[in-house]
Amino acid sequence: MKTRAVLVLENGLVFEGESFGAEGQTIGEVVFNTSMAGYQEILTDPSYKGQIVAMTYTQIGNYGVNHEDIESAKGLPKVEGFIVKEYLNYPSNFRSEESLGHYLKKHGIVGIQGIDTRALTACLRDNGSMMGVISTDSRYTPQMLFDMVRGHCGIGGIDLVKEVTTESSYQWPAEQKVWGYEESAPNVRPIHHEKLKIVAYDFGIKLNILRNLASEGFDVTVVPAATSSAEALEINPDGIFLSNGPGDPEAVSYAIENVRQLIGKKPIFGICLGHQILGLALNGRTYKLKFGHHGGNHPVKDLTTGKVEITAQNHNYCVDIESLKGQVVQTHANLYDGTPEGMRHVELPIFSVQYHPEAAPGPNDSNYLFRRFKAMITGGRYED
């Protein structure tokens, strides 16, 4: 017997559907993702902590779930809830190990299917991302759920990084399989023998970032988000990497200050939240986008080469390049809305991008960024 589920938004809009996954209720910021595939990577991306994700593609679950495509270090889903138009309960794929619904239920993630996701997406696009609640509990009326979500403080200004970062430092070995399973993917660069040592700040790091860094010959020490600059420098790394992560960058004040203390001491490369934290550490400002960028089909132009790459994105905040007052130059631009997607310091070996090169929607369009980081450290040339 199917269980009724309800989604209620903070503007009072109510969607009725059916439950799949865990039963209960969950509150989060509702965002839409335009990717046609990759739901497992989305579910386990720590950057989605605090958010309920709605997929715009109509049928979700058709290829199931497997342990190889997980992106979180502990292998757990990080979303607060999941919304789909049609859930397919019988996956068909040779790599599938369990159904999506079973995976969500096992990990306590509430899901809702059978709602008009086009109407939901249009609402979020027109009104912006907003808080919402999904409930499968018949004791709660839509009015009660509306009162609940209206009384929620939201996720702005809350430090979500502390909920997803590693508890202790660890090494990521360069010998790690690049893609996590035996068969090598085509066009994957071989692992190099020369080793460069980097410290990677874990603000919610994705495993494929570590794989890409390893494939470029880096020995990676992953450290907790609150690691001091002094502790990072004691490792004597050749460079510093600032990872992706969830939420409002201004809420991670300790990370901003630590990065500020590292500027000028080591080469730095930042991705997503790491990009935003770097902008704040340079005394710039960030601002929240209306409904953010969430999907695997965003065209971005590299302003240094003129090339356009298809990128994966997951962020609600953006760095105001003008607020950095000439310290950096913009290196990348989003061709959908013109927002800045990358920057490079005019004097110091520092650069960052807003999108996710490791997610490989292109699939290899953005791999050069890891080579660019290596070249910045060694003073060599990188291949576009």
First to last CA, the chain: 55
Q: Confirm whether 358 is a catalytic residue.
A: yes
Please pick, among 29, 41, 272, 275, the residue that the annotation labels catalytic: 272
CA-wise closest residue to 19 among 131, 114, 118, 117 = 114
Output the CA angle 314-46-122, nearest 5 degrees: 35
Q: Count Cα neighbours of 15 within 13 Å in the Cβ-side half-sphere.
A: 27
What is the C-alpha to C-alpha distance for residues 128 and 156, in angstroms, rounded to an integer? 14
Please pick, among 29, 71, 216, 358, the residue that the annotation labels catalytic: 358
User: Measuring CA to CA, how many Å separate 382 from each of 242, 301, 366?
Assistant: 20, 18, 13
Bin 360: left if φ > 0, else alpha if -120 < ψ < 50, else beta: left
CB atoms within 10 A of CB 160: 24
Q: Classify residue 272 by burial, with Cβ atoms within 10 Å: 0-12, 13-18, 19+.
A: buried
Please pick, among 275, 294, 345, 356, the residue that the annotation labels catalytic: 356
Active site residues: 272, 356, 358
